[in-house]
Chains A and B, each alone.
Chain A
Amino acid sequence: MKKMNEAGQIILIAGFIIGIGIVVLTVMLNNIVYASNTASESSIETNVFDYSNVVKITTEAYEKAYVDARNGSSIDGNKFNSYMANYSERMIKSYSLSGFIFSLENDTLQDAYFTENGLAGGNDDWTVFERINQTDYFLLGRLNASSLGNESNKFVIEVNNQSGSTIWSAAFFNSSGNVNLTIYDSNSVLNTKNDTFTDINITYNQIYNPNDFAFYFNSQTAGQTYSIKFINGSQATGTFMISGDLVNGDPFYIERVNVVNSTIKLNKNGHLEINTTIPVTLPKGQI
């Protein structure tokens, strides 16, 4: 009878210990469950790559639309706009699949400044190309005296050699309604012209007819590795085309006739929105 009592007490104590053990385990488990359940998922979105793609694709679309709409020296505005409208529609559809709302606000074709991005407020002083070995074509067009700055604000094309010294430069300014062009070597005036011309071909020494004006560009740059730089680009509007070869043998080509200021908008799920304005210089040579 006495033994039975003792056995009962052991069972009671054992039950008590097991009970406490269960409570401890439950609280610990609860802690673990609580901790792991409240950790929120990271919502990492690498939207910047989509944005980068959009900028690149849109620039290329503008270039293709421009080439498509170009007929000699004139541009078929309707053709250009319909190409871009079609592009915009396709982009809206394809980007909607990845949750983006794409929109493109088309702008009209404008006359380009000689700034880096083609707009009046763009970077004034910029290097067009570096490490040039040979320039085959260097043309400027649609120069307009009224859009040129005065003598203290002249637009200058500068050619610098590898050590940074200027070996050739051409300065343009408005001289009483005429375009004043002065050609310099490193320190002296080589040639000058004050007239109402609009187009020049530097490599062909041409203002009106081939070889009617000595630009000294070919002789000054012969055998040199050089860079072409535009200075005070906001002081002139016009077109330009430069092509040739770089030191490494690669050809280079840039042609600018117009600039279009396009506004791209990207929206994702309502919690991300990018609104950006990218000027696209046309037909070729996006910087």
Chain B
Amino acid sequence: MIRQFRDDEKAVSVSVGFVLTLSITVITMVVVISSFYTMMDRAEQTVMRDEFEIHGNDMALQISNIDTAVQISRNAGGEVGSFFFILPLPDEIAGQQYSVELSNQTNEIIFESHGKYATRVKVPYKVHETEVESVKLYSGSNEFILHYDPASNMIKID
């Protein structure tokens, strides 16, 4: 029987051919689909980083705006009583929640999603007249309000 099978030059039987074709197709599909998922995941992280950079730059600009407004007021001999800016941050970016961290040690705004290093974006900011309060916030909680507290001379976010 084995000999017949070995010497048989009529290729494979219909059933073996079907099994082979099916398994090759399944393996191919699994490989193709998993590679698509990897691609999708990478694209998601790229989108996140792009978005984080946009929002980070926006935040850095507003921090700088508040700092400049305080400086203008002080140069005119006055004081800023209050300054608040509602940041247009979405609840989710690329379908994922994220965190925003302000660090006055490194003067950076750090965005991150689910602690993944690949999604982490650091945007530097600069202040002269004021200080920025270090804080870590998570998206989806509430509106993000950037405001100036004249009592402590600090820019805070909540």
Residues of A within 8 A of B (CB): 20, 24, 27-28, 31, 34-35, 38-48, 51-52, 55, 59, 116-119, 122-123, 263, 270-279, 281, 286-287
Contacts and interface: CB of A to CB of B under 8 A. Distances in A.
B12 interface: no
Interface stretch (B73-81, B100-108, B117-125): B73-81
A263 B73 CA distance: 11
Contacts of B69: 48, 51, 274, 276
Interface in B38-63: 39-40, 43, 46-47, 50-51, 54-55, 57-58, 61-62
Nearest to A24: B32
Contacts of B51: 38-40
Interface residues of B, number: 37
Interface of B: 32, 36, 39-40, 43, 46-47, 50-51, 54-55, 57-58, 61-62, 64-65, 68-69, 72-73, 75-86, 88, 90, 93-94
A31 B47 CA distance: 10
The B contact surface, by secondary structure, is: helix
Of all A-B residue pairs in the complex, the 10 with the closest CB atoms, nearest first, are A117-B77, A278-B78, A271-B86, A275-B81, A275-B82, A48-B65, A48-B68, A276-B80, A42-B54, A31-B43
A276 B77 contact: no
Given A39-B51, A40-B51, A277 B79 contact: yes
Nearest to B62: A45
Contacts, number: 105
Contact of A287 (B47, B54, B72, B77): B77
B84 A278 contact: no
Nearest to B145: A271
Nearest to A123: B77
Contact of B73 (A34, A41, A278): A278
Nearest to B81: A275
A271 B81 contact: no
B68 A279 contact: no
A276 B94 contact: no
A123 B93 CA distance: 47
Contacts of B77: 116-119, 122-123, 278-279, 281, 286-287
